Structure 1
Amino acid sequence: MKIIGICGSPREKSNTEFFVQLTLDELKKKGFDTEFITLRNKKVQECSGCYYCANNNECKIKDDFDDIFREMLQADGIILGSPVYHSSITPKLKALLDRAGFLGRWVANDMKEKKQAYDWKGTAFSGKVVSPITVARRAGQNFTFAQLLLWATVNDCIVVGSNYWNVGVAGKGGNVDAHEDTEGIGIMKHLAENMAHVIKQLNK
């Protein structure tokens, strides 16, 4: 069983990276194969809305997206981590999720004529366990958290939470100080417990 953590922060050794990696470390202790994927050094262009994927089962844009998409398909669980940028996820994570969601839908479904109704057969991510993690200095987590929840639910995923929203409070004055958020650390550790439990139950 494999769980990947995708970090949308452009900063090296960021607060978001700390929380995503901490959760992965806890899951590794529970016997999971884990992988941390940072978008910081990846090239992921935004979706062009060309619908090439609807007929070809692949994205027309050739960059680092294909490798990350493949990892997402192979994973049992996906952690999506982002810092809060003006109450939103980062542009590169948004680009990745737009393309992954679009391609993932057409991999599992056929395009219909305008007057035909869709009877969706799920998506490439159906049944995968997904959990968001967002980090902000003070506020904005809820909108950002909701963006990631909306992506997971429209893609037929199983969402796992913790004993509070999976949010970290860190970065005042640009500091990398997530390790001081003891409440956030506890939330992520409990998230790992819940994620481990759900994935193990699904794989019985």
Structure 2
Amino acid sequence: MRVLLVNGSSNKNGCTFTALSEVAAALEEEQVETEILQLGADPVRDCIGCGGCRKMERRCVFDSDVVNRLIEKAEGADGFVFGTPVYYAHPSGRILSVLDRAFYAGSAAFAYKPGAAVASARRAGTTASLDALNKYFTIAKMPVVSSQYWNMVHGNTPEEVRQDLEGLQIMRTLGRNMAWLLRCIEAGKAAGVNPPAPEAPLRTNFIR
């Protein structure tokens, strides 16, 4: 089993990375392989609604940034943790742009795989950020993994995050809960329990 953790911060080894590392350590203790994907600090395109991904196989038409690499890694992953810093009570624009395109172009790579969101903040805005990221899971048929509280850590530096003992415990609990759900899914598949067959999608506009 393998979990892909996505660091939506431009700061490679900052507070968000510290939180994700705590989740990853708990997963590794449960014999679950992990990888932390850093989205980097290079420019990332927003989705322009061109519809070009519908003509391609799980790929975005823009191939100059990390999005298609994320989709490729998602295809081989069994679960996901998306981490973000809080900017103006919201996730980073970087992770939102990446996930918008990745889920439009490669939603099949995420479907029916457990997901969780983690937010890091100096003080506030974490619950709003978590709410924004959780929407990706609920629109892509993904089970949402919970912890013992909202999945957040507080601190302005990695050292301060390490002092947030409750936040770190929440990260460890999240990792163990993710490992447990992955094992449940694996046992279900072994017993012949498969994901439900989806209906053909219907699209209804509010204005007609």
Give the structure-1-normalised TM-score: 0.86
2:109 to 108, 115, 124: 124
Report the alpha carbon displacement of residue 163 of structure 1 after superposing the two structures with TM. 0.6
- The aligned amino acid for 1:200 is R
Q: Do 1:14 and 1:176's aligned partners in 2 also have CA atoms closer than 8 Å?
A: no
Aligned-partner Cα distance in 2 for 1:36–1:164: 23
Aligned residue in 2 for 1:116: none
Tell me, what secondary structure is at the counterpart of 1:177? helix
- The aligned amino acid for 2:183 is K
2:151 maps to 1:149: no
Aligned-partner Cα distance in 1 for 2:158–2:82: 22
Aligned residue in 2 for 1:103: 105
- The aligned amino acid for 2:86 is V
Aligned-partner Cα distance in 1 for 2:10–2:55: 33
Aligned-partner Cα distance in 2 for 1:80–1:184: 16
Report the alpha carbon displacement of residue 69 of structure 1 after superposing the two structures with TM. 1.2
Q: Do 1:2 and 1:76's aligned partners in 2 also have CA atoms closer than 8 Å?
A: yes
Q: Matched residues, percent identical?
A: 28
Instruction: Kindly tell me the number of residue pairs found equivalent between the two proteins.
Output: 185
Aligned-partner Cα distance in 2 for 1:89–1:55: 30
Q: Which runs of 5+ in 1 are unaligned?
A: 106-122
Q: Do 1:83 and 1:135's aligned partners in 2 also have CA atoms closer than 8 Å?
A: yes
2:166 to 169, 175, 183: 183
Aligned-partner Cα distance in 1 for 2:164–2:144: 24
1:85 to 70, 80, 87: 87
Aligned-partner Cα distance in 1 for 2:125–2:139: 22
Q: Which runs of 5+ in 2 are unaligned?
A: 188-208
Higher mean C-alpha displacement, 142-151 vs 63-72: 63-72
After superposing on structure 2, the runs of 4+ consecutive aligned residues of structure 1 that deviate more than 6 Å are none
- The aligned amino acid for 2:172 is K
Q: Do 1:43 and 1:65's aligned partners in 2 also have CA atoms closer than 8 Å?
A: no
Give the structure-2-normalised TM-score: 0.84
Q: Do 2:70 and 2:102's aligned partners in 1 also have CA atoms closer than 8 Å?
A: no
Report the alpha carbon displacement of residue 71 of structure 1 after superposing the two structures with TM. 0.7
Report the alpha carbon displacement of residue 41 of structure 1 after superposing the two structures with TM. 4.2
Matches for 1:1-204 after TM superposition, within 5 Å: 1-41=1-41, 44-57=44-57, 58-63=59-64, 64-105=66-107, 123-171=108-156, 176-204=159-187
Report the alpha carbon displacement of residue 178 of structure 1 after superposing the two structures with TM. 0.8
- The aligned amino acid for 2:102 is A
Tell me, what secondary structure is at the counterpart of 2:31? coil
Higher mean C-alpha displacement, 135-144 vs 49-58: 49-58
- The aligned amino acid for 1:152 is F
